[in-house]
Amino acid sequence: MRIGFVSTYPPIECGIATYTEALNGVLRRLRNETFVISPFGAQGREVFPVYQPDSPTLSADIFNTSVRMTPDVVHVQHEFGLFGAMRGVAVCELILRYRLAGIPVVTTLHSVYPKLDDDEQIILRNILAESDAVIVHEDFQKETLSRYFGSTDHVHVIEHGVREMSPIPRAKEKLGLSGRKVIMLCGYFRPSKGFHRVIDFFPEICRRDPDAVLVVAGKIRGIEAREYQRQLFTQLNDSSMVDRIVFLRGQFPQYTLDTILSAADCVVLPYEKGSQSGMLAQCFALQRPAVVSPLPAFQALVDRSGGGVVCQSDAEYVESVLRILNDQTYRRQLQENMQRYVQEHSAWRHIARRHIEVYQQVVTVPYGKGRYVYFPEPSEQLPTLPPSPPPEVSSGAGMLRMAWD
């Protein structure tokens, strides 16, 4: 089928951009035609950068271009900061435009928290009412929507996809960390990430393990959280263990990020707020054991996979990190759990096929058993993906109709 995405897209630095790039690539391998309508700055095959996020004509700009591409379905990747002023209210107008044009809309809600503020409720209520189907990543998110808005029969739970790959060889050597036990903080600097907590308890880890080092591979996106960044850098420079803290800076394109993460013995994600984490998906891709906070999405993934440790306090973080650093059997078991879970459940090939099933429920074939035909040009030929096992249908998701490939 022909699928149009509305999303940020690389090289724009955004977790949703990375998410859409991965999903888009696998859908194309499954012989679907796709295109992406994105903000200015995006690049790629069939990617059309046509709008500024703060433009007063955002919804019209996106709609007018996308309808010319004759999509069977439009898939909107939603986060409150992506669609302009007033918490991105323009996305509601955009979805209404598609409805009036008779184009089915699937919306993925990437930011559904257990508690929704008034603005979030207004936006989400309208998205739920006007989208033909909605996707969230965790069961608790669907339960949240049901609690606030009632019926969620058209809401589907499809977890965050993960790449299938092996760690980059000799990563520690490439970073000058041979022989060290590497604890890693990685991602954008924001107060909600809780990186400051790790810097606080890192001296206790050093006291108990002389080979431990803390690698901070952080990025600054635009001018956000500048005061927090200033405080964090001051904290790093003033740490009593500053000689055992390595700060890596750069743009971190995917291979660079993969190399950095491959050097980690464990990754600490002490997030104070979040609905899911692209960084945790990166950890699973590279089998890097994760020590995480008890956010519902983190807790759910650790419970399902056995690929990490959930910590309630700084003392628990210290004990969990030290065990991963020093118990090779335990660390290997976590890694094996992560790898097995990805292969069996969360690899992008599984996730993309579940998306196709959702699309098929909302697309009407006007000619009975009409079958969509698309053969990529030889220059676009991609390796065939291995088959996926039949997906498990999340509770309340409803039956999935297989109409055509």
The pLDDT of residue 226: 78
In the numeric block, which tokens belong to residue 403? Answer: 């109409």
In the numeric block, which tokens belong to residue 218? Answer: 């952080």
C-beta separation of 145 from 124 below 8 A: yes
- DSSP assignment, residue 380? G
pLDDT (tens digit per residue) in 101-114: 999 999 999 999 99
In the numeric block, which tokens belong to residue 265? Answer: 């013995």
Angstrom distance (rounded) from CA 283 to CA 17: 18
What is the average pLDDT score of the chain?
Answer: 90
| pLDDT band per the 50, 70, 90 thresholds, residue 221 | low
Assess whether pLDDT exceeds 90 at residue 276.
no
| pLDDT band per the 50, 70, 90 thresholds, residue 387 | low
Q: Quick one: how far is CA 61 from the chain centroid? A: 26
Across the range 257-263, mean pLDDT stands at 96
The pLDDT of residue 51: 96
Rounded to 5 degrees, φ, ψ at 39 are -65, 160
Across the range 302-311, mean pLDDT stands at 95
pTM, entire model: 0.87
The pLDDT of residue 222: 59
Q: Which of 214-223, 306-315, 339-348 has the lowest mean pLDDT?
A: 214-223
C-beta separation of 175 from 214 below 8 A: no
Assess whether pLDDT exceeds 80 at residue 10.
yes
Classify residue 293 by burial, with Cβ atoms within 10 Å: 0-12, 13-18, 19+: buried
Classify residue 102 by burial, with Cβ atoms within 10 Å: 0-12, 13-18, 19+: exposed
Domains plus CATH for the chain? 2-161+347-380 (3.40.50.2000), 171-345 (3.40.50.2000)
Question: Which residues make Cβ contacts (< 8 Å) with residue 158, sequence separation at least 6?
Answer: 135, 136, 137, 351, 354, 355, 358, 394
pLDDT (tens digit per residue) in 171-214: 999 999 999 999 999 888 878 888 999 999 999 999 999 999 99
Q: Could you give the angle at the alpha carbon of 236 between the alpha carbons of 319 and 279, nearest 5°?
A: 60
Percent of the chain with pLDDT over 90: 77
Amino acid at 262: S
Of 320, 38, 401, 255, nearest in space to 24 by CA: 38
Of 327, 281, 328, nearest in space to 307 by CA: 281
Q: The tokens 């995480």 sit on which residue?
A: 292
pLDDT (tens digit per residue) in 122-141: 999 999 999 999 999 999 99
Angstrom distance (rounded) from CA 243 to CA 120: 44
| pLDDT band per the 50, 70, 90 thresholds, residue 392 | very low
The pLDDT of residue 249: 86
pLDDT (tens digit per residue) in 31-77: 999 999 999 999 999 999 999 999 999 999 999 999 999 999 999 99
Cβ atoms within 10 Å, residue 397: 22
- DSSP assignment, residue 369? S
The pLDDT of residue 251: 82
DSSP β-bridge partners for residue 135: 108, 156
Across the range 223-231, mean pLDDT stands at 77
